[in-house]
Structure 1
């Protein structure tokens, strides 16, 4: 029996290497008892809150997600060691930190991929891919059939991404070390689905807030983050003419990074009718989710939050953009063509001024992207 070591632990079965049924059988053979997953969300949350020491259950929304009692350790379990189950620490993206601390994936970080829902043989772009947990989840959803472009600019985070992709068995992922603002349909063609989970304040990450109270987000930093998030979202909505669905997500509870970014991006698309047009998907997780965006914003009710106090996971925000059917007009000639050079000259955007996007860290942008943000 694994030792129980606060909140429920979420483990994703890597269906690229093992089946959900096989993993459940292994845990049952070790003495774990699988509880019945209730049909209603409130009853489900109650079951999660009341998990006893030797019981686990499947998630209500994602069957590949298993839920265990407080702080159960998995690092030395053979299923983790062989890649059959995947764990993640959302507080730090370093592989060493993740392995040494063995902190598990939060359910909220899986919901964006669940709502993106790409089918096999699709073409998907993961715009801010490191450390790769969402990239590998997408690969599992697509059953290793199709194409995933996984983009990361920071060299060390790019290495982390490549390591996790290899370990997971995601054989059809094309990793790209580049500034994502230099990526468009010329070097990532035929993209149908986009996941954008950009750098954010992390205000929804419970462990980070409690462990690093000095990292409280200043107004200056928040404005810098939001400005760059808008630029990224506008880029995603305008530079990929075949996109059908885009999911924008953050691990933030700040409206400046969430509802306000969504409103600005939708206004941008409407003001540029030659670009693809989008609407927000409604009724996300209808009947089985409580927390929604603020009705003070035009489209707030169509967005979704995960809140630690109600959903038993880290705080998260999700907006799903669906393409509005348009005429067969080609957008390709309106998209700037960029060469797909991986080793672009980079400007290291250090902490300070507009660059204070992350506390105690650095953010990498090409000179072109820096100019875009500086003039936004």
Structure 2
């Protein structure tokens, strides 16, 4: 079953030069990526145990804890002893980039505003070497307890869990955090699969607009919660400019204290943020944002690093 015609039309408008090649990536399963958790084990030990379970992971060049296996090995990976113990965490490579760009350090106060299921929170706890304070927020009951269980199994002792609406955090915790991660709820366009119609069954431009309203309110909360001099990373797994550059552009207009920071990542499948969509022109600094292009091993992703000056 083909992807929605309107989605394809919009996608071609965003990526006019590469659309055909990029659209092909929606037709086949991607490799399964995972991260070895240094809070629980070391790389050599983990790789030896994975080998004993019949897995032959391939290393990811830009992050020493990241590996991938063929899509058909997902079940073997999820039923491995390492997965059960929290020694590894299955996570998309694009998602791993978010904590690396935000760069939390030991001793800092960090907020993950929409944290479930917890992969990025757990990764940040490891980067912080379990030193400091990590607030993780999730409003949905089922997702909250899944988040809590993942972080506890993964050994994130600095994580403090809050079942709360992220839109209210900024007013409750003004200027409290050194770094804030907002991987916002979105229309999940990057997870569409032509062979799985359920992945795009409820997609529409109306949903994009609804998501954009929620994303902006979360952005406002994130900005309020950030200390002067602090950094905020905004991310989505959507291609829609309304959910990405437009949300940040609106925040830049309202908050002159927020500046866009350049992002440097060691991968080639990237595209700069767009500065115009249809008749709407955005702040030119949004070209510093990064759009991860989908490949056989990576999902599409949007990343924008902001600093409160």
User: What TM-score do you get using the length of structure 2 for normalisation?
Assistant: 0.80
Q: Which residue of 1 aligns with 2:43?
A: 20
1:219-230 aligned within 5 A = 219-230=205-216
1:75-86 aligned within 5 A = 75-86=78-89
Note the alpha carbon deviations across 1:190-244, whole angstroms, 9 max, x for none. 3100000121100111349834155242222211111121121122113433461
8 Å Cα contact 1:148/1:174 also seen in 2: yes
Describe the SS at the equivalent of 2:250: helix
8 Å Cα contact 2:116/2:146 also seen in 1: yes
Q: Which residue of 1 aligns with 2:5?
A: none
Query: For 2:145 and 2:194, how far apart are their aligned partners in 1?
Result: 23
Query: For 2:251 and 2:149, how far apart are their aligned partners in 1?
Result: 33
Query: For 2:199 and 2:148, how far apart are their aligned partners in 1?
Result: 32
Q: Which residue of 2 aligns with 1:148?
A: 134
Runs of 4+ in 1 over 4 A off after TM superposition: 28-32, 185-189, 286-289
> Counting strand residues as a fraction of each chain, which structure ranks higher?
2
More RCO (CA 8 Å, sep 6+): 2
Note the alpha carbon deviations across 1:294-316, whole angstroms, 9 max, x for none. 243423321112222x4632221
Q: Which residue of 2 aligns with 1:291?
A: 271
- Can you give the 5+ residue segments of structure 2 that lack an aligned partner in the other structure? 1-28, 277-281
Q: Which residue of 1 aligns with 2:146?
A: 160
Instruction: Please give the root-mean-square deviation of Cα atoms over the aligned residues, in Å.
Output: 2.3
User: Is the radius of gyration larger for structure 1 or structure 2?
Assistant: 1
8 Å Cα contact 1:11/1:67 also seen in 2: yes
Q: Which residue of 1 aligns with 2:247?
A: 261
Q: Which residue of 2 aligns with 1:128?
A: 114
Q: Does 1:106 align with 2:109?
A: no
8 Å Cα contact 2:175/2:224 also seen in 1: no
CA 1:62 to 1:178, structure 2 compared with 1: closer, same or farther past 3 Å? same
8 Å Cα contact 1:151/1:176 also seen in 2: yes
Q: Which residue of 2 aligns with 1:321?
A: 306
8 Å Cα contact 1:194/1:243 also seen in 2: no
1:133-282 aligned within 5 A = 133-184=119-170, 186-187=172-173, 190-207=176-193, 210-212=196-198, 215-242=201-228, 244-270=230-256, 277-282=257-262
Q: Which residue of 1 aligns with 2:61?
A: 60
Q: Which residue of 2 aligns with 1:312?
A: 297
Query: For 1:19 and 1:58, how far apart are their aligned partners in 2?
Result: 14
User: What TM-score do you get using the length of structure 1 for normalisation?
Assistant: 0.67
Query: For 1:61 and 1:79, how far apart are their aligned partners in 2?
Result: 22
CA 1:13 to 1:208, structure 2 compared with 1: closer, same or farther past 3 Å? farther
Q: How many residues align?
A: 273
8 Å Cα contact 1:194/1:246 also seen in 2: yes
Describe the SS at the equivalent of 1:215: coil
Query: For 1:195 and 1:235, how far apart are their aligned partners in 2?
Result: 11
Query: For 2:211 and 2:286, how far apart are their aligned partners in 1?
Result: 20
Note the alpha carbon deviations across 1:158-207, whole angstroms, 9 max, x for none. 11111111111111100011222222375477310000012110011134
- Can you give the 5+ residue segments of structure 1 that lack an aligned partner in the other structure? 1-5, 33-53, 88-104, 271-276, 325-376
Q: Which residue of 2 aligns with 1:35?
A: none
